[in-house]
Amino acid sequence: MSDVIQVIDLKKQYENEGVVTPVLHGLSFSIPKGQFVAIMGPSGSGKSTLMHILGFLDTLTSGTYLFEGTDVSTLDEDSLSRMRGENIGFIFQSFNLLPKTSVLDNVKLPLLYSDVPAAQRDSIAKEAIEAVGLTPRTTNLSNQLSGGEKQRVAIARALVRKPAIIFADEPTGNLDSKSGAQVMQILQRLNMKQGHTVILVTHESYTAAHAERIIHLRDGMIQTDQPVAQRTIANGELIK
C-alpha cells in the first residue's frame, strides 16, 4: 500500500516580534492510503498545528512533507490552494455551516470553486448528502438541524469533491454521545467501505479507539505511534 503522506523531521516554529516559539520538534511518520489514523494529545501538544500543515493550511519551518510523492515545499500558494481543494476534506468541531442556508447549498459550496460544471453540482451534492443519510433534510435550512445532523452535513460537504484525505478535527466535541457515535460510524464506513484515508484529531481516547492507529503527541514530539489493539465499531456495526 502506497503512502499518501510521508513526513521526515518536520519542525514548526512561530516567530513574533523576535520571539521564537517552537511547536513541533522533528516529527517523522508516514500514512498509507486508506488508513484511519487518530492524532491525540493534550492541549498545546501540537496536534492542531500538525493537522493544519498536513492539510495545507499552514507551512512547515523545516523538514520534508511529501503528499502522494510530491514535496509540498516546492509548491507555490496557488498550487497549494488547488491541491487543498482537490485532495482534502475538512470536518471541524464547530460545523462551519452557512446559517439560514439549505443543506444542499451548504454541501454544494466547495463545488463553486471547482471546475465541476454548474449543471452537475446539485446531483453531486445530493449524492454526498445521501452518503450521510440526510436526503430527507436536503431542503432544510442549517439552523433547523440538530447538532448531529449539522455535523453530518459537514461530512457531506467534505466528501463532495471526493478528496484523497478527510481531516476530522474534534468532530464529536459538540455532540451528545448518540450523535457522536453516529458521526464516528459514518467516518468508519467512509474508511472501511469506501477506502477514504481519515485523519482524526482528538483528545478523547474513546473517540480515537475508532481509528486503526493512534499517533500520540506530547510537547510537540511523537510520544507513541501504535496500532489500535481493539478497534471500536460505533453502534456495534457499520452503516451499509
Chain segment 151-202, per-residue pLDDT in tens: 999 999 999 998 989 999 999 888 888 888 888 989 998 898 888 999 999 9
Handedness of CA 145, 151, 152, 155 (dihedral sign): positive
Coil/strand/helix, residue 186: helix
Q: How far apart are CA 204 and CA 125, in angstroms?
A: 31
Asked if 126 and 58 count as a contact pair (C-beta separation under 8 A), the reply is no
User: To the nearest whole number, what is the mean pLDDT of the chain?
Assistant: 91
Q: Is the dihedral of CA 122, 127, 132, 137 positive or negative?
A: positive
Q: Is 135 helix (H, G, I), strand (E, B) or coil?
A: helix
Q: Which of 216, 171, 175 is nearest to 190 (CA)?
A: 171
pLDDT at residue 1, as a whole number? 62
pTM: 0.89
Asked if residue 22 has pLDDT above 70, the reply is: yes
At 238 the pLDDT is 44
Task: In whole angstroms, give the CA distance from residue 13 to residue 27.
Answer: 13
Instruction: Tell whether the model's pLDDT for residue 240 goes beyond 50.
Output: no
Averaged over 43-69, what is the pLDDT? 94
pLDDT(235) > 70 = no
Reference 1, options 39, 37, 35; nearest CA is 35
Q: List b or e across 175-197, with b for residues whose CB sees 16 or more CB atoms inside 10 angstroms.
A: beeebbbbbbbbbbbbbbeeebb
Q: pLDDT, tens digit, for every residue of 103-140? A: 999 999 999 888 888 899 999 999 999 989 999 999 99
Residue/partner pairs of 82-87 with CB below 8 Å, 24 or more apart: 83/56, 84/55, 84/56, 84/57, 85/110, 85/113, 85/114, 85/161, 86/114, 86/161, 86/163, 87/163, 87/164, 87/165
Q: How far apart are CA 237 and CA 240, in angstroms?
A: 9
d(CA 232, CA 230): 6
What is the structure's pLDDT at 175? 87
